[in-house]
Amino acid sequence: MSITIRQASLDDASGILATHRAAAVLPGRLARTPDEITEAYVRGVIETPGGVCLVAVDQEGLVCGEIHARREHIALFSHVLGGVTVAVLPDHQGRGIGFKLFMALIAEARTMSPPVLRIELAAGAGNPDAIRLYERLGFQQEGRQVARGRFPDGRFEDDILMGMLL
């Protein structure tokens, strides 16, 4: 499967919306539920000042993945790119799309000015596949937030804090 990674535009909004909503149906994959993923949310992701928003597009032009992050606006943390969220259509998962999106995000971060020196994210402890992917990319586990997330059924999930120095 041929995948192209490129900057997202507002023309990609409906594809990003569909990708995030489909990925959010799977428990523990995204923090947001499908009904929390709105057109306004997607527009904000694409247009975030100082942010990065990339899409993965297959050979038919389908947006099958998206990754975004934002630069911190407090001077002390201005070298940090955080709030990383990645979503891949469920039937496209396991094909390396998430890895390619992260590699493109890291490459983009290295070109930003002023320089980004750190990327950070949080991963649900119940998603070991994501944690392994992040570690393979060079992220290190830096801490744990106990009971950070609460599922609709009342169960809690810890967040694993991860970071990467560029």
pLDDT score recorded for residue 98 = 97
The pLDDT value recorded for residue 6 is 98
Give this prediction's pTM: 0.96
Total domains, the chain = 1
Q: How many helices (H) and strands (E) does the chain have?
A: 4, 7
Question: CB–CB of 19/87 below 8 Å?
Answer: yes
Distance of alpha carbon 12 from alpha carbon 161, whole angstroms:
30
Average pLDDT over the chain, rounded to an integer: 96
State yes or no: pLDDT of 32 exceeds 80. Answer: yes
Label residue 29 by pLDDT band (50, 70, 90).
confident
Tens of pLDDT along 101-149? 999 999 999 999 999 999 999 999 999 999 999 999 999 999 999 999 9
Q: Which domain holds residue 77?
A: 3-165
Domain containing residue 58: CATH number: 3.40.630.30
pLDDT at 92: 96
